[in-house]
Amino acid sequence: MRKSAIVLANGCYRSSNGKPAHGLVRGSERFAIQCVVDPDSAGGDAGTLLDGLQRNIPIVNNLDEALACARAPPQVCIVGVATHGGRLTEELRALLLDAARRGLSLVNGLHDLLSEDAEISAAARASDTEIVDVRKPVPRSQLRFWEGEVTQITASRIAVLGTDCAVGKRTTARMLVNALNTDGISSEMIYTGQTGWMQGARFGFVLDSTANDYVSGELEQALLRCARESDPQVMVIEGQSALRNPSGPCGAELLLSGQLAGVILQHAPDRTYFEGHEDLGLRIPSLRSEIELIAMYGVATVAVALNGGAMDREALARRQAEYADELQIPVVCPLLDGMNELVDAVRPLLPRPEHR
């Protein structure tokens, strides 16, 4: 049973910092989202504002309105923002304290842990409710070091990497898994961030709260568990940040330790600089150079997925055609084009029957 939930996205729903809320609005097998709290966007439908698809999830001003408009009595209040550094703002803290006092359990994906906040913890205990800190580090005694067992897994592993953070890697990974399963190709998503867990992915770990020495082993553990419990033909691994984002480089672990069969590379054509570092002039490398870098790790990029951001469709279509002509691989806008081309790009990577 999914738990009825309110999502807090205060002031961030219209920005990339609201990506946990965006993911939850697009769908979750873990929570039934009743409404989003964001006074800056109140009055509309969260789905319509996000991508033009109405989902009957209203955006409201405050917790009072959220509790009044919910179709089912809310059980959970979820932090729906991803702040720089995973810090808890004073505004969010006040809302979460209020929610705990009202008897709502709290789900938090920030690095600042609610379970370590004395006042919020006391309020939760008094209300007999739960605090789930998704990014709470696992004790090192429980972490796994990479051992190489992943090489025995027959399922094809594909990662959705990106040229920057917050470009839609998780959304594309989730859409691809759904499309592959619909097409009769058994698939599972391996989450590596807090929102993937919130959306209900069964297998994975939170990469950026894992001690660096154990990231590869925890990835291997997630892949082995997925193979053991689900035995899919394809595992789609959610990427984090980007190989060359200096504020949080990531991807080599997935490429090497995951023993990948291929990569789908996510890109935002309207960005010139790494998000949040525009003032430093840190330019995002070209798609071609990123694909060449990935190839140096021994993995081919089989397709590019585009996040059009604020680009109009005509400009996006021109850029899409330019990339396809230059790179000679499928270039797809998942939210506009659907997933057929990405599914076709994955087909040659499927394990042969005799290997299963």
Which run of H or of E encompasses 317? Answer: helix 313-327
For residues 232 and 189, give the distance between their C-alpha atoms in angstroms, rounded to a whole number. Answer: 10
- β-partners of residue 160 are 238, 264
Q: Where in the chain is the domain with CATH 3.40.50.720?
A: 3-133
Q: Which part of the chain is CATH 3.40.50.300?
A: 142-355
pLDDT higher than 80, residue 269: yes
User: Residue 195: its pLDDT value, please?
Assistant: 97
- 56-80, pLDDT tens digit by residue? 999 999 999 999 998 999 999 999 9
* Per-residue confidence (pLDDT) for residue 100, from 0 to 100: 98
Give CA separation, 140 vs 97, 134, 212, in Å: 30, 16, 11
Beta strands at 59-60 and 31-37: parallel, antiparallel or unpaired:
parallel
The domain 142-355: what is its CATH number? Answer: 3.40.50.300
CATH T-level assignment (fold) for domain 3-133: Rossmann fold (3.40.50)
Q: What was the pLDDT predicted at 31?
A: 98
Residue 356 has pLDDT above 60, yes or no: no
Helical residues (DSSP H) of 90-189, grouped into ranges: 90-101, 118-127, 169-182
pTM attached to this predicted model:
0.95
User: Nearest-5° angle of CA 210, CA 25, CA 174?
Assistant: 55
